[in-house]
Amino acid sequence: MAAEVLDGKAIAADLRSRVEEVVAARVRAGRRPPGLATVLVGDDPASHVYVGSKRKACAEAGIRSIHHELPGDVAEEELIDLVAALDRDPGVDGILVQMPLPARIDQDRVLAEISAGKDVDGLTPANAGHLAQGRIGVREALELESDRPAVGLVACTPAGVMEILHRSGVELAGAEAVVVGRSILVGRPMASLLLNASATVTVCHSRTRDLAAACRRADLLIAAVGRPGMVGAESIKPGATVIDVGMNRTDEGLVGDVDFDAASAVAGRITPVPGGVGPMTIAMLLANTVRAAR
C-alpha cells in the first residue's frame, strides 16, 4: 500500500494563519508589529529565492521586514557592524543572516553579534545549548501565545519537522528515530528535539558504516543530507515515517534526499519535496519571530 503523504504545505498554511492572528491581536492591543531583519550577502540565486519567500511570508503575516543586501566582496567588519547595529535596534525582534556566507567570512564571528533573544534561526551557542540540555521540548518550541518569556529559540527546519510529526499524530516516546545528517542547522537540533521528546535517537553522517542498515532500524527516519534520492527502499523499515528535509536543485527540478516513489511503496508515512518540510521552515521562522518579540 502506498504511504500516506504528510502535507507540510497545509500544516504550514494553518500555522501561518495562527501567526497572523497573534500578530493582529498584538497590534490591536496597541503594540508595534514584530520586526524581522534579513541580511543577504552576495548573489547566490537560491539564497535570493529563500530570502524573497521569507520576506513575502512576513508581509502576509503582518510582520515588519527590514532587509539588507551586501555585495559578495563585503568586508567582514562591515557585515559584523551591520549585524551588531540590528542587534541593538529595539525595533528589530529577530535577525536572520542567510547562510551560506562567502567562505572567507567567519560565520561564528557574525553569529556572535546576535543576542540569543533575536536568534530566530536558533544558531547561537546559547540557544543550541538550551536545546541540547533538554530545556526546550516540542511544547516550548511551538508555543506562540504565553505570558511567559520564550525559553530559547529553535532552528526553524527541525522545529517545523516536529510540528509535522505532532500534527500527524506520530508517536515519538520510545520510537527508534534515525537522523541522517549532523549539521548545526538541521541534523543536530533535530536529534536534540527528538531526544527531548523521548525517542531513541541515532545520528548518522558521512562516516557511518552501513547507512542502510542503520536507517532500516528506524520507526522514524529523517534525511537531511543534500544528496538527491540517496535514501531508497532498501533503507526503510516497512511502515516507517520518512521525513525528507533535502532540497536539491537538479535538471528535473527540486528533489529531496529520498527516492519518493521507491520509498512510498515501503513507508507508512512520507513527506514530499516540494510541499513537505520546506513550507514549514518559513512558517516556523514567522513563529520564531513572534516568540522573539514576546
The residues annotated as belonging to the active site are: 54, 98, 121
Applying CB under 6 A, which of residues 154, 185, 199, 287 lies at the interface with ligand NDP?
Answer: 185
Applying CB under 6 A, which of residues 158, 187, 229, 272 lies at the interface with ligand NDP?
Answer: 187
Quote the least distance from Cβ 167 to ligand NDP, whole Å.
17
Quote the least distance from Cβ 90 to ligand NDP, whole Å.
29
Q: Does 228 bind ligand NDP (CB under 6 A)?
A: no
Q: Does 248 bind ligand NDP (CB under 6 A)?
A: yes
Q: Does 204 bind ligand NDP (CB under 6 A)?
A: yes
Cβ nearer to ligand NDP, comparing 35 with 187: 187
Q: Does 207 bind ligand NDP (CB under 6 A)?
A: yes
Quote the least distance from Cβ 91 to ligand NDP, whole Å.
27
Q: In what order do the strands lie in the sheet with 241-244?
A: 4-5, 269-270, 241-244, 220-223, 176-180, 200-204
Cβ burial 150-168 (10 Å sphere, 16+ → b, else e): bbbbbbbbbbbbbbbbbbb
Q: What is the DSSP letter of 200?
A: E
Quote the least distance from Cβ 273 to ligand NDP, whole Å.
8
C-alpha cell, 181:
545528517
Footprint of ligand NDP on 138-157 (CB under 6 A): 157
- Stretch near ligand NDP under the rule CB under 6 A, chosen from 18-26, 32-40, 115-123, 225-233: 225-233
Binding site for ligand NDP (CB under 6 A): 157, 180-183, 185-187, 204-208, 211, 224-227, 245-248, 277-278, 281
